[in-house]
């Protein structure tokens, strides 16, 4: 088992690769710990939850809302949870987001950690400290930035992860490759999802590489004044699509990445669009879709990267090198409507 410690402004995160709930006993006393999970994860791994206080939530993005936070807070009060209680989110991105958020606000803050169970949560949602909930049509509209005390990686949980969830997670891996890691992009081009699904060592290495990319970016710019913005590649359009259509996060940001490549070609001479589209399609992600552009633009306007009449858009200079460029909302609207 390998351990890495990342220090952030107000806390450190211990990242344990090759561990899981069995290791949790070494760092958290079951008497003072509450696990938060969803029905799918609980049913797939019931045995692992034995002996732990557990709150089981309904599964899905539709439940990443204030009503769920209220219900969890009420349950914690019934359980007499206090400031010494540790919350542990065991699940995908919805569970890590809700757990981090509840832990940030309950009694003004509890220690918390994660055991991510999906590729997406492993490489993205569990890392970085952003947490929160959706409000109506707006994704992640309310939340805080607060770092988990620990993240435990147990790759055996992937044995029960459905194919579509593998694809969903690979969208974030492709995103990291596009903005930061040309060599990883080449490896993704050369390999297949089937290869990563069947070779335990390959997926372990790929997950670790992505965790390190993300943790290093966040460490340098925890509060998103600069480089951290790059992690939003594909997300401006992606989030707007995700709330308007029945798309998984990875599918929505995949279309968002294709549009960002198109903008990159127009704004900064990017010439490798087709390679990005090919990799997305190779991992069974949609690169294009027809959608109501005006309706989606009306949601996109509320993106957190907008500053008055301009949007800070994440573009690519070349594969492996992301950049942020300001684009006027008028220009952005025109380019989206004409895409
Ligand atoms: N929790 C995900 C992030 O901080 O980006």
Q: Is 130 a catalytic residue?
A: yes
Q: Is 304 a catalytic residue?
A: no
Under the banding of pLDDT at 50, 70 and 90, the label for residue 305 is confident
Q: Assess whether pLDDT exceeds 70 at residue 98.
A: yes
Closest-lying ligand 1 atom to the alpha carbon of residue 131: 1
Under the banding of pLDDT at 50, 70 and 90, the label for residue 147 is very high
User: What per-residue confidence (pLDDT) applies to 20?
Assistant: 82
Q: Assess whether pLDDT exceeds 80 at residue 230.
A: yes
Average pLDDT of the chain to the nearest whole number = 96
Closest-lying ligand 1 atom to the alpha carbon of residue 214: 5
**CA of residue 96 to ligand 1 center, whole Å:** 9
Q: Residues 273-298, buried b or exposed e (16+ Cβ, 10 A)?
A: beebbebbeebbbbbeeebeeeebbe
Instruction: Identify the weakest region by mean pLDDT among 12-26, 123-137, 211-225, 262-276.
Output: 12-26
User: What per-residue confidence (pLDDT) applies to 26?
Assistant: 92
Q: Is 14 a catalytic residue?
A: no
Are 329 and 306 in contact by the 8 Å Cβ rule? The answer is yes
CA distance 302 to 227: 21
User: What per-residue confidence (pLDDT) applies to 178?
Assistant: 98
Domains and CATH numbers, the chain: 2-160 (3.40.50.1970), 178-338 (1.20.1090.10)
Ligand 1, atom 5, lies closest to the CA of 128
User: What per-residue confidence (pLDDT) applies to 287?
Assistant: 97
Q: Is 239 a catalytic residue?
A: yes
Cα torsion angle, 184, 190, 192, 197, sign: negative
Q: How many residues does the chain have?
A: 339
Percent of the chain with pLDDT over 70: 100
Residue 3 CB partners (closer than 8 Å, separation 6+): 14, 15, 16, 17
Radius of gyration over every alpha carbon of the chain, rounded to an integer in angstroms: 19
The whole-model pTM stands at: 0.97
Over residues 205-230, the mean pLDDT reads 97
Q: 319's torsion region: left (phi>0), alpha (psi -120 to 50) or beta?
A: beta
Are 132 and 143 in contact by the 8 Å Cβ rule? The answer is yes
Percent of the chain with pLDDT over 90: 96
Closest-lying ligand 1 atom to the alpha carbon of residue 96: 1
Q: Assess whether pLDDT exceeds 70 at residue 54.
A: yes
Q: What are 163-200's pLDDT values in tens digits?
A: 999 999 999 999 999 999 999 999 999 999 999 999 99
Instruction: Identify the weakest region by mean pLDDT among 45-49, 173-177, 300-304.
Output: 300-304
CA 328 to chain centre: 27
Q: Which two structure tokens, joined as six digits, stand for 309?
A: 């009449």
List the catalytic residue out of 108, 201, 225, 308: 108
Over residues 139-157, the mean pLDDT reads 96
Q: Assess whether pLDDT exceeds 70 at residue 1.
A: no
Q: What are 2-33's pLDDT values in tens digits?
A: 999 999 999 999 999 988 888 999 999 999 99
Over residues 321-334, the mean pLDDT reads 97
Over residues 309-319, the mean pLDDT reads 97
């Amino acid at each position: 088992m390998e351990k890495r410690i990342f220090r952030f402004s107000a806390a450190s995160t211990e990242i344990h690769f090759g561990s899981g709930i069995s290791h949790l006993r070494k760092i958290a006393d079951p008497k003072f710990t509450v696990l938060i999970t969803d029905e799918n994860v609980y049913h797939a791994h019931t045995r692992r939850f034995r002996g732990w206080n557990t709150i089981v939530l309904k599964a899905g993005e539709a439940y990443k809302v204030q009503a769920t936070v209220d219900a969890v807070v009420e349950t914690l009060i019934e359980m007499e949870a206090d400031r010494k209680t540790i919350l542990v989110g065991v699940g995908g991105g919805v569970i890590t987001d809700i757990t981090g958020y509840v832990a940030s606000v309950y009694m003004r803050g509890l220690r918390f950690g994660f055991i991510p169970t999906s590729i997406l949560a492993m490489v993205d949602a569990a890392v970085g400290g952003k947490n929160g909930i959706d409000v109506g049509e707006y994704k992640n509209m309310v939340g805080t930035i607060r770092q988990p005390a620990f993240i435990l990686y147990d790759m055996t949980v992937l044995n029960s992860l459905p194919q579509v969830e593998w694809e969903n997670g690979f969208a974030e891996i492709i995103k990291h490759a596009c903005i930061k890691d040309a060599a990883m992009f080449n490896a993704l081009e050369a390999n297949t999802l089937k290869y990563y699904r069947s070779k335990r060592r390959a997926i372990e290495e790929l997950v670790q590489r992505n965790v390190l990319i993300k943790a290093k970016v966040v460490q340098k710019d925890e509060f998103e004044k600069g480089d951290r913005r790059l992690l939003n590649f594909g997300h401006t359009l992606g989030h707007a699509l995700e709330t308007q259509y029945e798309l998984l996060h990875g599918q929505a940001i995949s279309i968002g990445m294709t549009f960002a490549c198109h903008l990159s070609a127009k704004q900064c001479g990017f010439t490798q669009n087709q390679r990005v589209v090919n990799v997305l399609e190779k991992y069974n992600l949609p690169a294009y879709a027809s959608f109501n552009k005006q309706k989606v633009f009306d949601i996109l306007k509320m993106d957190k990267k907008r500053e008055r009449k301009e949007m800070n858009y994440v573009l690519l200079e070349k594969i492996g090198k992301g950049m942020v460029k300001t684009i006027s909302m008028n220009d952005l609207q025109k380019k989206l409507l004409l895409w």
